[in-house]
């Protein structure tokens, strides 16, 4: 299930109703967000995970860290969409994997690979050339944790953009919902 919020009150409600392990996609009006959205052709530029009632865990340009959720909830112009953690994913293993990576650095080289692959219209080459070991982009980080906790992807986590992660999660949740009917 997915829900969208774009003002402070609705973002607070959305976050309060989310469970630890639920995945959030976001965008804002900043230049980095715009650039990522431009190159990926997608409405969101960032992915993070709810850790507790007031904390998120994420990989941003400062590396993997636990942040206060208020940076997203109180930020004017930030839009959030929550996607529930798929039932097939072990939530404890997912969160444990995420927290085990706190302190790791951001993967600028992989981000550069994503940009170069778009410019030169070469697909999936960035993993072999520019993926730095033990460094993570936001979608790579969340995808790898999901993979470790039981979710399968068509591509390696380092090759997954926020757009690809979003649709993989939407498809996973859609499949579960159709099984319940």
Which pLDDT tens digits describe the chain residue by residue (181 residues)?
678 888 888 999 999 999 999 999 999 988 888 888 887 789 999 999 999 999 999 999 899 999 999 999 998 889 999 999 999 999 999 999 999 999 999 887 776 776 677 677 766 554 556 666 788 889 999 999 999 999 998 888 877 889 989 999 998 654 333 333 3
Q: Which residues contact 91 (CB under 8 A, 6 or more apart)?
A: 19, 20, 21, 85, 149
Instruction: Please report, for the chain, the start and end positions of each structural domain, with discontinuous segments joined by +.
Output: 2-176
pLDDT of residue 171: 86
Residue 70 near residue 15 (C-beta atoms within 8 A) = no
Of 110, 134, 145, which Cα lies nearest the Cα of 124? Answer: 110
What separation in angstroms does the CA of 50 have from each of 24, 65, 84, 109, 116?
A: 7, 12, 10, 26, 31
pLDDT of residue 151: 94
Angle between helices 162-180 and 31-40 (to 10 degrees): 70
First to last CA, the chain: 14
What separation in angstroms does the CA of 82 have from each of 16, 91, 101, 104?
A: 11, 16, 22, 25
pLDDT of residue 132: 66
Domain 2-176 has CATH 3.90.1720.10: yes
**Based on the number of CB atoms within 10 Å of its own CB, is 169 exposed (0-12), middle (13-18) or buried (19 or more)?**
buried
pLDDT of residue 180: 33
C-alpha atoms less than 13 angstroms from C-alpha of 125 in its C-beta half-sphere: 11
């Amino acid at each position: 299930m997915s829900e969208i919020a774009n003002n402070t009150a609705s973002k607070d409600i959305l976050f309060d109703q989310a469970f630890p392990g639920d995945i959030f996609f976001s965008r804002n009006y900043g230049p980095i967000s715009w650039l990522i959205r431009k190159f990926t052709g997608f409405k969101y530029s960032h992915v993070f995970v709810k850790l507790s009632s007031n904390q998120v865990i994420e990989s941003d340009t400062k590396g993997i860290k636990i942040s206060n959720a208020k940076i997203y909830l109180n930020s004017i112009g930030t839009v959030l969409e929550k996607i529930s953690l798929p039932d097939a994913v072990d939530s404890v293993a997912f969160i444990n994997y995420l927290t085990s990576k706190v302190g790791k650095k951001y993967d600028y080289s992989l981000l550069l690979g994503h940009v170069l692959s778009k410019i030169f219209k070469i697909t999936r080459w960035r993993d072999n050339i520019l993926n730095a070991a033990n460094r993570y982009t936001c979608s790579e980080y969340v995808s790898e944790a999901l993979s470790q906790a039981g979710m399968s992807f068509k591509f390696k986590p380092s090759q997954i953009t926020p757009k690809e992660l979003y649709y993989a999660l939407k498809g996973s949740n859609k499949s579960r919902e159709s099984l319940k009917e």
